[in-house]
């Protein structure tokens, strides 16, 4: 059977024998109603847990709209038109509204990138800025000891509206919601404190209740004060199939429930070989982002099996500390030992990759040089087909195969029958 996996702006094609293929994890068939801008407008008319945004804001107030950066697929340009219309109708002035791109620990944007993310209309009507880790306001400290230091333009706003997309997150449970604030517009020290809880058993994909990391970032967001959110769920083609608006937690949870209906994939058993990709650009710009698909794939592979990770990674590793950890480690296991001694943001993803390597070999199909891939403890392959052929050589002609073309979105879960 011929399968296609997103690879940058192109595809990787691979032939898998029908007898070996356990399945292709795509979204579940969920009845869909309105799409894209129409669905956003509906969610704004029917907020969850709050009045409509026009009843919350007032003329003369400074409004900060926090949204995702270029490494995230959140279609800000589809969300803003209806949101701005409601704000204007409530008497808010264009000059009082600022769109803040939540960089977290990522690089800043060019003006062209900002315009693409915001859309031409919003870019021309309101101020658009990156969050600034070096200009923050200290709000307080959470119960877990996380400093709540928030970029000034957000901290000093009268109203805060958070945008985002909801997908599985390997230790926060799900993306979206309060993540726009923490880590979105926080300092590196704050992010490191929050993310240090990733080593706890309850901090894993698909888990919210009892997840200490999620509870911490939601406490941080509550301390800052979030008046309204607009979160969306995307299908494999990056189209909005569900939007939720309103309360920071209540609306987010409703979006998470819808995501599970679409993307939680129950399995009878694990596979010998898992083919996985992020689905292409922008999610596979670098290994730092592509790792998300790898972390979901680990739930589907047998101990001793092979994961074939397909991602362009044309911008390299993507984060300085992550790069330092990956390139300086004497062995993969040493990164697991290191994260136990000294948690560092960036290093946490290096350790996460090392943890997968404890149980499976990983082939990386990318635009990186072979020698570089080997240096970071992965096996290079020039195509997904080449990697699959090598996996069959090692595991045998009868090895079972599972495909995850949108690995950052689909979450495998083995269930007992």
CATH at 221: 3.40.50.11440
Q: What pLDDT, in 10s, does the model give residues 130-146?
A: 999 999 999 999 999 99
- 292 and 391 inside one domain: yes
- 299 and 238 inside one domain: no
- 248 and 279 inside one domain: no
Residue 131's alpha-carbon distances to 63, 149, 181, 195, 219, in angstroms, are: 15, 12, 10, 19, 20
Q: Among 211, 243, 262, where does a domain finish?
A: 262
* Cβ atoms < 10 Å from Cβ of 328: 11
Rounded average pLDDT over 297-312? 97
In this predicted structure, what is the pLDDT of residue 371? 98
- 194 and 314 inside one domain: no
Q: What pLDDT, in 10s, does the model give residues 65-89?
A: 999 999 888 999 999 999 999 999 9
Q: Percent of the chain having pLDDT more than 70?
A: 100
Do the Cβ atoms of 133 and 103 come closer than 8 Å? yes
Rounded average pLDDT over 116-124? 97
Q: Say how many residues make up the chain.
A: 417
- 254 and 276 inside one domain: no
202: domain range? 36-262
**28 has pLDDT over 90:** no
- 234 and 291 inside one domain: no
Q: How far apart are CA 345 and CA 362, in angstroms?
A: 23
259: burial class by Cβ within 10 Å (0-12, 13-18, 19+)?
buried
Cα–Cα nearest to 163, from 125, 202, 124, 128: 128
Rounded average pLDDT over 360-386? 98
Q: Among 262, 294, 317, where does a domain finish?
A: 262
Overall number of domains in the chain: 2
- 337 and 219 inside one domain: no
**340 has pLDDT over 80:** no
- 278 and 252 inside one domain: no
- 166 and 294 inside one domain: no
Rounded average pLDDT over 306-334? 97
- 145 and 49 inside one domain: yes
- 212 and 125 inside one domain: yes
């083995």: which residue's tokens? 414
CATH at 282: 3.90.226.30
Whether pTM > 0.85 for this model: the answer is no
Q: Among 232, 262, 292, where does a domain finish?
A: 262
Q: What pLDDT, in 10s, does the model give residues 147-206?
A: 999 999 999 999 999 999 999 888 899 999 999 999 999 998 898 889 888 878 798 888
Q: What pLDDT, in 10s, does the model give residues 199-235?
A: 787 988 889 989 999 999 999 999 999 999 999 999 8
The chain-wide mean pLDDT, for the chain, equals: 95
- 203 and 253 inside one domain: yes
Cα–Cα nearest to 24, from 34, 32, 35, 16: 16
Rounded average pLDDT over 306-329? 97
In this predicted structure, what is the pLDDT of residue 97? 98
In this predicted structure, what is the pLDDT of residue 200? 83
**279 has pLDDT over 90:** yes
In this predicted structure, what is the pLDDT of residue 415? 86
In this predicted structure, what is the pLDDT of residue 417? 56
Q: How far apart are CA 49 and CA 71, in angstroms?
A: 30
In this predicted structure, what is the pLDDT of residue 71? 83
In this predicted structure, what is the pLDDT of residue 226? 98
């Amino acid at each position: 059977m011929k399968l296609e996996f997103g690879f940058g702006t192109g595809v990787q094609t691979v032939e898998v024998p029908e007898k070996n293929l356990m399945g292709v994890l795509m979204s579940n068939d969920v009845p869909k109603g309105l799409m894209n801008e129409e669905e956003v407008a509906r969610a704004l008319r029917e907020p969850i847990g709050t009045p409509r945004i026009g009843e919350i804001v007032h003329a003369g107030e400074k409004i900060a709209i926090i949204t995702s950066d270029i490494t995230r697929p959140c279609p800000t340009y589809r969300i803003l038109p209806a949101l701005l219309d409601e704000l204007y109708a409530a008497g808010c002035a264009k000059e009082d509204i600022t769109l803040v791109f939540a960089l977290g620990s990522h690089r800043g944007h060019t003006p062209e990138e900002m315009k693409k993310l915001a859309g031409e209309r919003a870019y021309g009507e309101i101020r658009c800025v990156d969050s600034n880790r070096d200009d923050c306001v200290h709000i307080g400290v959470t119960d877990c000891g996380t400093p709540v230091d928030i970029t000034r333009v957000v901290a000093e706003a009268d109203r805060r509206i958070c945008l985002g997309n909801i997908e599985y997150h390997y230790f926060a449970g799900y993306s979206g919601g309060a993540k726009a604030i923490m880590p979105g517009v926080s300092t590196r020290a704050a992010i490191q404190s929050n993310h240090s809880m990733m080593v706890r058993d309850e901090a894993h994909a698909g888990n919210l209740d009892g997840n200490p990391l999620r509870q911490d970032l939601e406490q941080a967001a509550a301390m800052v004060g979030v008046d309204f959110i607009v979160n969306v769920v995307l299908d494999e083609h990056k189209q909005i199939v569900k939007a939720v608006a309103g309360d920071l937690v209540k609306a987010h949870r409703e979006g998470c429930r819808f995501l599970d209906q679409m993307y939680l994939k129950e399995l009878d058993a694990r596979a010998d070989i898992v083919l996985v990709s992020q689905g292409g650009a922008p999610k596979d710009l670098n290994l730092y982002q592509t790792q998300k698909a790898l972390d979901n794939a680990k739930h589907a592979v047998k101990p001793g099996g092979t994961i074939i990770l397909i991602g362009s990674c044309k911008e390299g590793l993507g984060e300085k500390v992550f790069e330092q950890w990956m390139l300086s480690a004497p062995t993969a296991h040493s990164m697991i030992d290191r994260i136990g001694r000294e948690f560092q943001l960036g290093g946490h993803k290096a350790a996460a990759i090392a943890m997968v390597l404890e149980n499976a070999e990983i082939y990386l199909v990318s635009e990186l040089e072979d020698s570089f891939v080997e240096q970071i403890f992965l096996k290079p392959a020039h195509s997904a087909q080449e990697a699959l052929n090598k996996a069959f050589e090692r595991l045998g002609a009868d090895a079972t195969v599972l495909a995850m073309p949108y690995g950052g979105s689909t979450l495998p879960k083995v269930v007992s029958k």
